[in-house]
Structure 1
């Protein structure tokens, strides 16, 4: 029974994580990448003017990739690295609790993204569908 449910649980996790990243990236564009860059600079993030649009773009594209289940290992690692940067530069000094600006939520996003990225993505993942299509037919 667990084996039958696993692909659908991964699909739901993949979509939920993808939507979170997509919305956070879109918010950076909608509120203005210059404001995001200013926040990055105030947080001590190096090359804030380059990092802000890069992170916003990665969150949008990576979020879409998670939703689709495409290039999961690549985007999973990249998004987890962005979350690691958020922990180090923004949240670590605030402790663990998300209610106090801590790293709890960002750590969960990083861990969840890595888990989904290296699981095959579950049902309807483009990566899985692509692999099946590329495999030679067995006789």
Structure 2
């Protein structure tokens, strides 16, 4: 294993903590929003904004962690479980933010002025929201593994 520079010694654990902590906290916050705010559309908008922020935290953190690992380990990084966990988490962020979320937004926009859940798009929305939720759960669990293995 290559020796880490002073910067990566502290920034890598901070980025892992920020990313994974944000994942778990946003999941909990979204649940609280839907339990607390009677207007489900408003709760969904706030939750969606939080998930977008977490996605960008994940994109930046994951890219840094992947590039740093490649720079420090070279091709042997591809033989490391931590590299692949970060890589799969990063891919899940890309799929969620740039694949699934735009689709959900389009379904919501197509349903206007009605709530998407009271529209002909409700079934498709539920399906894609479920896929997004499963991908997010997998990302959270991989993040938990990352925290445990990184310490």
TM-score range relative to shorter protein = 0.3 to 0.5
Q: State the TM-score, normalizing by the size of structure 2.
A: 0.42
Q: State the TM-score, normalizing by the size of structure 1.
A: 0.44
Greater helix fraction, Structure 1 or Structure 2: 2
State the structure with more CA Rg: 2
